[in-house]
Amino acid sequence: MARGVRQTDGGVSRATAILRRYPVTIAAVAVVVVCFALQWSTPLIPLLQRQGAAIAGGEWWRLFTSFFVQGSGWGQFAFNTAGLIILGAAVERVRGSMAWIATAVVAQVGTVGVASLWAPQAYDSGSSFVVGGLAGMLALARFSGPRAWVVTAAAYRVFFVTYLTGLAVAGPVAGAVTGSVVTGAVVALLLRSDLALWARYAVLGVTVAATAVLIVWRDPHGVAVALGMIVAIAWASVHPHVSLISGRSDARS
207 with 137: CB under 8 angstroms?
A: no
Q: Please, what's the b/e burial string for 72-81 (b: 16 or more CB within 10 A of its CB; e: otherwise)? A: eeeebbebbb
Mean pLDDT of 63-72: 97
- Give how many domains the chain has, as a whole number: 1
Q: Is residue 151 part of a domain?
A: yes
> pLDDT tens-digit profile of 151-164?
999 999 999 999 99
Q: Is residue 32 part of a domain?
A: yes
Q: Check pLDDT > 50 for residue 248.
A: no
Question: For the chain, what is the mean pLDDT?
Answer: 92
The whole-angstrom separation of Cα 251 and Cα 200 is: 13
> pLDDT tens-digit profile of 127-177?
999 999 999 999 999 887 789 999 999 999 999 999 999 999 999 999 999
- pTM of this prediction? 0.92
138 with 91: CB under 8 angstroms?
A: yes
Q: Is residue 76 part of a domain?
A: yes
Q: Is residue 168 part of a domain?
A: yes
* Owning domain of residue 228: 2-238
Confidence of residue 36 (pLDDT cuts 50, 70, 90): very high
DSSP 8-state class, residue 141: B
Q: Is residue 251 part of a domain?
A: no
Q: Is residue 245 part of a domain?
A: no
How confident is the model at residue 249, as a pLDDT?
Answer: 37
Q: Is residue 249 part of a domain?
A: no
Q: Check pLDDT > 90 for residue 80.
A: yes
62 with 54: CB under 8 angstroms?
A: yes
Mean pLDDT of 169-194: 97
Confidence of residue 67 (pLDDT cuts 50, 70, 90): very high
How confident is the model at residue 10, as a pLDDT?
Answer: 59
